[in-house]
Amino acid sequence: MRWFSLILATTLLGACGGETSPVQESIDIVLVGGTVFSGLDESPIVADVGIEGDRIVAIGNLDGHPADQRIDVSGLAVMPGIIDIHNHAIRPNAARSGIYLWPDAENLIRQGVTTVIGGPDGSSPLPIENDFQKLEASPATVNYGSFVGHGTIRATVVGREDRIATDDELEEMRAEVRKAMDSGAFGLSSGLLYAPGSFAPAEEVIELAKVVKPYGGIYISHMRNEALGLLDSIRETIRIGEEADIPAQITHHKVMGAPMWGRSTEALALVDAAIERGVDVSSDQYPYPASSTGLPAVFPRWSLDGGNKALKARLDDPEQRAKIKQGVIYSMVNERGGNDPAKVALANCAWDPSLNGLNLADVLRQREIVVNIENAAELIMDLQYAGGCSCVYHAMSMEDVDRIMLHPTTMIASDGGVMAPGNLRPHPRNYGTFARVLGDFVRERQHLPLTTAIYKMTRMPADRINMTDRGRLEVGAIADVAVFHPDEIIDKATFANPHQYAEGMYHVFINGEAVLLDKKMSGVRPGRVLRSMGPRPQE
């Protein structure tokens, strides 16, 4: 391999250069004079970066080294491409969505994201192999890897009823997990807040998590409750990782609902205590004090038993509707409702797009109904009955967001997807997550150092899923590289106007090919399917 000789050359040259390289073969691209961040939380160096084919072949002084293309990146930061470990690039129930609809993934590229890991929150396509093959046949810009979703598996094998799985069903679910791991999944995701994942006891999840162990997989969970039940949910997540003996990750770690604000201290103390006794626990987080998910998240668990049809039948029954309403009111007051109808905004009501962008208070006012929690609960039940909506819930405090971000086991992930401007009113995290951390949290607020932020979005998620050739800027690694101006990088997407690309990203290379050059999308789609490189179980 040719890059071996260049490694030698680079070693001889050292970071400061001075000697002449013994290798004078032309390489494809040299990024000249940038401030190079390795992906580890360590000081950057000013150096040239050589790319040949899909690899980084040299880091050092490449002055005068023949190259097909030299790009002056002096004054710019050169970092490994970002790995978004929680991304909804493929929506399992929508045939053409996300990465298929917008394979250029410009919302991600303009933040420097080069790899997305899908299948989060217990929800993945099944089998994951079909989408792997589709993307291999027709690549996107970004690389794609996946978890396999417990919720999807349970829906397929057990159905949507609130009951314990039989032994046969458990065996069938194990087989589904095994099949996905054989295809190269990075582990098991759960969404224990969402039906039907919510109907599973921890014991079931533990049994399925054990299946990913011999593959070196991890367990990543949207927990059962992120509000009043937060601490118990963290204990449950830790227990599942501990008993299955695999790494566990609290995904989009947050503290939901005003009664719990400030208690991230206790949440993180549970993480620390688990690590102390040898459990491998981590978190990921998006940098906003608002979340986003479908309306069923504010319905009581029991009301979702049997799926949406069963829920609608219950809403038709006055007695049951009254009971459901109490549950919705509870959630509005204590959990993601933020105790204020104005704090729940409608992001996407597919059946009536004119609602998109309004909050519950707006809709009540439009309909000349008094704005209060009770009427908001009625409205929520009506909206769900009519077809449902995804919503943005403003129910977190920045103090908790800030504290969780600083914890050494927290990485950054978007929980967004692949998106392009349209008439929905999605969460701005889709367009802004990583640029917001680099621009707002690092530069404007000086909340954490740039090196730490870069580590949390590159090397840290790569290490978490045993990805040894990406998430790092070093000789021999795959050339996924993002180049941005540290004084210019910023998110522009807001809750009111989310369809705005981040600014300050200059060049992005994926597998050695420029997908963004001088701030222009190149139209090239070099993305690959990334299958786990973990061990394989012995036959």
Give the residues lining the site for Zn ion (CB under 5 A).
Answer: 121, 222
Taking the least distance from each CB to Zn ion, the nearer of 73 and 465 is: 465
Structure tokens at 253: 């770690």
Q: How many CA atoms lie within 13 A of 129 on its CB side?
A: 9
Closest separation between CB of residue 122 and Zn ion, Å? 8
Closest separation between CB of residue 224 and Zn ion, Å? 12
Where residue 163 falls (left for φ over 0; alpha for ψ -120 to 50; beta otherwise) is: beta
Taking the least distance from each CB to Zn ion, the nearer of 149 and 337 is: 149
For residues 156 and 152, give the distance between their C-alpha atoms in angstroms, rounded to a whole number.
6
Closest separation between CB of residue 26 and Zn ion, Å? 47
Closest separation between CB of residue 383 and Zn ion, Å? 20
For residues 407 and 274, give the distance between their C-alpha atoms in angstroms, rounded to a whole number.
14
Taking the least distance from each CB to Zn ion, the nearer of 103 and 257 is: 257
Give the Cβ contact number of residue 68 at 10 Å: 10
- Of 345, 377, 478, 494, the closest CA to residue 432 belongs to 494
Taking a C-beta distance cutoff of 8 angstroms, is the pair 493, 427 a contact? no
Name beta bridge partners: 34: 47
Using DSSP's 3-state secondary structure scheme, residue 347 falls into strand
Taking the least distance from each CB to Zn ion, the nearer of 213 and 336 is: 336
Local structure of residue 438 (DSSP, 8 states): I
Taking the least distance from each CB to Zn ion, the nearer of 79 and 250 is: 250
Taking the least distance from each CB to Zn ion, the nearer of 222 and 314 is: 222
Taking the least distance from each CB to Zn ion, the nearer of 419 and 508 is: 419
Residue with tokens 């690389």: 143
Nearest residue to Zn ion, scored by beta-carbon proximity? 222
Closest separation between CB of residue 415 and Zn ion, Å? 6
* Whole-angstrom Cα Rg for the chain: 24
Residue with tokens 């303009």: 110
Residue with tokens 């770690």: 253
Taking the least distance from each CB to Zn ion, the nearer of 336 and 470 is: 336
Local structure of residue 277 (DSSP, 8 states): T
Closest separation between CB of residue 98 and Zn ion, Å? 15
Length of the chain counted residue by residue: 539
Closest separation between CB of residue 401 and Zn ion, Å? 16
Closest separation between CB of residue 309 and Zn ion, Å? 24
The CA-based angle 318-321-327, given to 5 degrees, is 150
For residues 240 and 237, give the distance between their C-alpha atoms in angstroms, rounded to a whole number.
5
Taking the least distance from each CB to Zn ion, the nearer of 222 and 224 is: 222
Closest separation between CB of residue 226 and Zn ion, Å? 9
